[in-house]
């Protein structure tokens, strides 16, 4: 009897130990990270990764096309370009040549709610990157010549995109339908007529308002020594004056609109097609976790329902893509399909609505749900595990979002805990008749 009690007690202790271990794993960050803030408000994140003798440096500013006013579209994208046009101690395009000469790589990206600059260099070259980034944060050269060249370059890029994308016009019209307001619907690159009217004062005001240390995050990932790199960061960035607090971003409320079906005559398009969109939950609402798994069930990968139906089984689609698109605090579920003719276009729409109805009416099997979750998990982890650059971008974007880094350890688990009943409930909540359907006609 005593032996039996001892065994039971041991089993209880073992289960308690396992439970505590699982809780500790849930709260553990997926990577090491240290953070501090400079006196001027610059937020800094450091994550050591000694797998390769490389360092990735990311500077992200909390500004994008959402911060533009009507008639001034393209300002955020133009500032991204101008950041390579020189500063007090760096000539035009020298930033690029300096990085490339030491064997580094660099790029930049403007989104609706953020602008990101990133470069990866040999680990002994990180002071060069910090000097370059701090110089253009402090003293960007904004003059008539640079602004004129940036405007010409941007307009050329718009023409190039139009010439190489048959569906650009229809895509922009679709976003105007589904967002139904200026802030979210206008293209990040801007409109040609707006860019032509941008002044030097517009550019200077935008730069001095948003390109400040207190509106930025610096993230460094790679092979470095923590104390040494902190001293160098302070050397180059702490002398930059703090900017005025940027004005709060005032965004329009989501307007309640009914479903819309439109047809656009797109004579540049080579094939007929259509856009299908649903307004879904914000990325910061609980429903978003289930919606993300639904995205994988319906259209992520060759084993997804829509891919198998449109390409493998019925073979009626010529081109097919889509998924969830996030713009700050809003999200949509978009599907884009092109077809060989009008009949197959109608068949594709029927097939898509059939799968949506099926997922709204019948519980998904646990096997299919697990498969979709596994593919999602791999993609999620790759965001920060694919390279040191991807990790630095992931940390920066997470910080600038409404998801705090403290909650990051449990984020993946929230996606993976989605149930079959949750899928059917969310499908019926968001995939309703209030859809946006844009048919594309050709000549």
pLDDT band at 443 (very low <50, low <70, confident <90, very high): low
Statement: residue 10 has pLDDT above 50: no
pLDDT at 8: 42
Residue 431: CB atoms within 10 A of its CB come to 20
The answer, yes or no, to whether residue 43 has pLDDT greater than 90, is: yes
Checking if the pLDDT of 155 tops 70, the result is yes
| CA nearest to 200, candidates 134, 144, 116, 246 | 144
Residue 331: is its pLDDT beyond 80?
yes
Alpha-carbon distance of 162 to 175, in angstroms, equals 16
Q: What is the pLDDT of residues 79-137, one digit of tens each?
A: 999 999 999 999 999 999 999 999 999 999 999 999 999 999 999 999 999 999 999 99
Q: Is the pLDDT of residue 270 over 70?
A: yes
Mean pLDDT of 219-236: 93
| 228 token code pair | 């040494």
pTM of the predicted model over 0.75: yes
* Tokens 């060989």, located at residue: 340
pLDDT in tens, 172-197: 999 999 998 999 999 999 999 999 99
| Assigned token pair, 412 | 């993946």
The answer, yes or no, to whether residue 4 has pLDDT greater than 80, is no
Confidence bin at 266 (pLDDT 50/70/90) = confident
Of the pLDDT bands very low, low, confident and very high (cuts 50, 70, 90), residue 253 is confident
Q: Per the structure block, which two tokens stand in for 108?
A: 């930049």
What is the pairing mode between strands 216-222 and 43-48? parallel
What does the pLDDT look like over 312-323, one tens digit per residue?
888 999 999 999
Report pLDDT digits (tens) over 72-94.
999 999 999 999 999 999 999 99
Backbone angles phi, psi at 70, to 5 degrees: -55, 135
Q: What is the pLDDT of residues 360-394, one digit of tens each?
A: 999 999 999 999 999 999 999 999 988 999 999 99
* pLDDT at residue 29, rounded to an integer: 72
Cα–Cα dist 301/374, whole Å = 12
CA angle 90, 91, 94 (to 5 degrees): 85
Show Cβ contacts of residue 101 under 8 Å, excluding neighbours closer than 6 positions.
Answer: none
Residue 13 clears pLDDT 60, i.e. is over it: no
CATH number assigned to the domain with residue range 34-237, chosen from the 4 options 1.10.10.10, 2.30.30.30, 3.30.830.10, 3.40.50.620:
3.30.830.10
Q: How far is CA 232 from CA 13, 129, 239, 318, 353, in A?
A: 49, 11, 12, 53, 57
Tell me what pLDDT residue 27 has. 58
The beta-carbon contacts of 95-102 under 8 Å, at least 24 apart in sequence, are: 95/132, 95/136, 98/128, 98/132, 99/128, 99/129, 99/132, 102/128
Residues 6+ apart with CB under 8 A from 20: none
389, 52 Cβ separation under 8 angstroms: no
Q: What is the pLDDT of residue 274?
A: 95
Q: What does the pLDDT read at residue 234?
A: 96
The CATH code of the domain at 260-441 is 3.30.830.10
Round to whole Å and give the CA distance between 320 and 311.
9
How buried is 70 (Cβ within 10 angstroms: 0-12 exposed, 13-18 middle, 19+ buried)?
A: exposed
Q: So what's the pLDDT on residue 301?
A: 86
Token readout for 105 is: 């790589």
Confidence of residue 291 (pLDDT cuts 50, 70, 90): very high
Instruction: Count CB neighbours of 412 within 10 A.
Output: 16
Confidence category of residue 24, pLDDT binned at 50, 70, 90: very low
Helix, strand, or coil here: 213?
A: helix
- Domain 260-441 in the same topology as domain 34-237: yes
The rounded distance, in Å, linking the Cα atoms of 357 and 351 is 10
pLDDT at 17: 44
Please report, for the chain, the start and end positions of each structural domain, with discontinuous segments joined by +: 34-237, 260-441
């Amino acid at each position: 009897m005593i032996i039996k009690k001892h065994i039971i007690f041991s089993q209880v202790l073992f289960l308690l130990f396992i439970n505590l271990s699982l809780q500790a794993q849930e709260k553990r960050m997926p990577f090491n990270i240290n953070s501090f803030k400079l006196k001027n408000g610059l937020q800094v994140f450091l994550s050591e990764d000694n797998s390769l003798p490389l360092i990735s440096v990311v500077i992200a500013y909390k500004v994008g096309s959402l911060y533009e006013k009507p008639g001034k579209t393209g300002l955020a994208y133009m500032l991204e370009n101008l950041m390579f046009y020189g500063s007090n101690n760096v000539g035009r395009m020298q930033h690029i040549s300096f990085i490339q000469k030491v064997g580094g790589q660099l790029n930049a990206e403007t989104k609706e709610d953020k602008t990101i600059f990133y470069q990866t260099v040999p680990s002994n070259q990180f002071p060069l990157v910090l000097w370059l980034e701090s110089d253009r944060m402090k003293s960007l050269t904004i003059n008539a010549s640079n602004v004129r060249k940036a405007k010409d370059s941007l307009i050329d890029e718009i023409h190039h995109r139009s010439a190489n994308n048959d569906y650009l016009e229809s895509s922009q019209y679709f976003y105007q339908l589904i967002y139904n307001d200026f802030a979210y619907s206008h293209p990040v690159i801007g409109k040609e007529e707006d860019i032509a009217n941008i002044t030097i004062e517009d550019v200077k005001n935008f730069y001095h308002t948003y390109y400040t240390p207190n509106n930025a995050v610096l993230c460094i990932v790679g092979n470095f020594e923590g104390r040494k790199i902190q001293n160098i960061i302070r050397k180059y960035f702490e002398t930059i004056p703090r900017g005025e607090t940027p004005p709060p971003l005032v965004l329009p409320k989501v307007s309640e609109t009914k479903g819309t079906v439109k047809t656009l005559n797109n004579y540049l398009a080579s094939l007929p097609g259509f856009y299908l969109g649903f307004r879904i939950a914000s990325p910061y609402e609980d429903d978003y976790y289930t919606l993300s798994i639904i995205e994988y069930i319906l259209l992520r990968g060759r084993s997804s329902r829509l891919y198998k139906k449109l390409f493998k089984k019925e073979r009626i689609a010529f081109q097919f893509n889509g998924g969830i698109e996030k713009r700050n605090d809003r999200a949509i579920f978009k599907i884009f399909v092109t077809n060989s003719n009008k009949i197959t276009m109608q068949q594709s729409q029927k097939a898509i609505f059939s799968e949506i109805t099926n997922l709204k009416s019948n519980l998904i099997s646990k096997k299919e749900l697990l498969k979709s979750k596994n593919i999602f998990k791999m993609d999620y982890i790759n965001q920060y595990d694919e390279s040191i650059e991807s990790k630095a971008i992931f940390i920066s974007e997470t910080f600038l979002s409404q998801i705090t880094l403290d909650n990051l350890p449990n984020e993946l688990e929230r996606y993976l805990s989605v149930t079959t009943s949750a899928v059917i409930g969310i499908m019926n909540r968001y995939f309703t008749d209030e859809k946006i359907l844009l048919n594309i006609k050709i000549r």
